[in-house]
């Protein structure tokens, strides 16, 4: 069980009333994400509070009326899974850094230099985000933050989100195994198996991974593959 002096508050509001439990921040997040099911490790106390800071406990009558149960485990489970978990500064910083890395990876994969057509290296993207004073919301989805980040980066470098359609032609002796890699790396828009067993396919990929796709197919076919960009958008 977590020490009370190291615990944070998880809070659930129901019909205008507040209910709280004391818990370990990291373990509460893990519990919410289904990575642990041991409430003993998560909670600092079995008590269900109306106000932890004032030491006010919730009455059994109120719990029964609003939750149809007075079972501490069932109540704690609901509060942890449906309520708001108070995050420590350390955990917020960790979430923010994780989200920053996800945004950098997304931009590297999906965006290119609008002049050269080549992807920007991850380290350069990260450095420029700092220069542009990009603020990361640790709770907002990556996709919801990308446009704002791209707009700020555009003031420093030529950059755009781009999707490419590429025609791929693979000789018969490599077509089967190589097509497995194609389907793993790209969205297949069209596939045409030729009479000689070779494959002609139209695939769609984020522009930033074209080099990765080319390298993978060249490796599998010993360089005997044709790739041609058909469309950019």
b/e string for 158-190 if b means 16 or more Cβ within 10 A? ebebbebbbbbbbbeebbeebbebbeeebeeee
φ and ψ at residue 224, rounded to 5 degrees: -95, 65
Domain 163-232: give its CATH architecture: 2-Layer Sandwich (3.30)
Mean pLDDT of 9-13: 96
Mean pLDDT of 205-211: 95
The CATH number assigned to the domain with range 89-161 reads: 1.10.10.900
Residue 101 tokens, joined: 């890395």
Q: What is the pLDDT of residues 32-70, one digit of tens each?
A: 989 999 999 999 999 999 999 999 999 999 999 999 999
Q: Where in the chain is the domain with CATH 3.30.70.240?
A: 163-232
Q: What is the pLDDT of residues 153-202, one digit of tens each?
A: 999 999 999 999 999 999 999 999 999 999 999 999 999 999 999 999 99
Number of H helices, E strands in the chain: 9, 11
Q: Where in the chain is the domain with CATH 1.10.10.900?
A: 89-161
DSSP-derived 3-state class of residue 71: coil
Domain 4-85: give its CATH architecture: 2-Layer Sandwich (3.30)
> Over 90: is that where the pLDDT of 220 sits?
yes
Q: What is the pLDDT of residues 79-134, one digit of tens each?
A: 999 999 999 888 899 999 999 999 999 999 999 999 999 999 999 999 999 999 99
- The helix (H) or strand (E) run that includes residue 20 is strand 17-23
Q: Where in the chain is the domain with CATH 3.30.1250.10?
A: 4-85
| CA–CA dist 97, 77 (Å, integer) | 28
DSSP-derived 3-state class of residue 221: helix
DSSP-derived 3-state class of residue 80: helix
Do residues 161 and 153 touch, judged by C-beta distance below 8 A? Answer: no
């Amino acid at each position: 069980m977590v020490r009370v002096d190291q615990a944070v508050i998880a809070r659930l509001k129901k019909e205008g009333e507040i209910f709280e439990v004391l818990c370990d921040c990291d373990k509460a997040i893990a519990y919410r994400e289904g990575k642990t099911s041991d409430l003993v490790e998560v909670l600092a106390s079995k008590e269900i509070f109306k106000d932890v800071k004032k030491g006010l406990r919730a009455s059994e009558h109120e719990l029964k009326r609003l939750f149809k149960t007075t079972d501490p485990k069932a109540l704690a489970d609901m509060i942890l899974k449906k309520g708001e978990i108070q995050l420590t500064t350390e955990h917020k910083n960790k979430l923010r850094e994780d989200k920053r890395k996800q945004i950098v990876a997304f931009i590297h994969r999906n965006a290119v230099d609008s002049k050269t057509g080549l992807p920007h290296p991850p380290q350069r993207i990260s450095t420029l985000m700092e220069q542009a004073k990009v603020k990361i919301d640790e709770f907002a989805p990556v996709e919801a933050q990308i446009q704002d980040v791209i707009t700020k980066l555009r003031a420093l470098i030529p950059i755009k989100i781009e999707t490419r359609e590429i025609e791929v032609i693979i000789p018969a002796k490599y077509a089967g195994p190589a097509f497995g890699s194609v389907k793993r790396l790209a969205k297949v828009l069209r596939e045409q198996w030729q009479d000689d067993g070779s494959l002609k396919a139209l695939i769609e990929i984020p522009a930033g991974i074209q080099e990765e796709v080319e390298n993978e197919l060249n490796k599998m076919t010993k360089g005997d593959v044709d790739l041609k960009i058909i469309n950019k958008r």
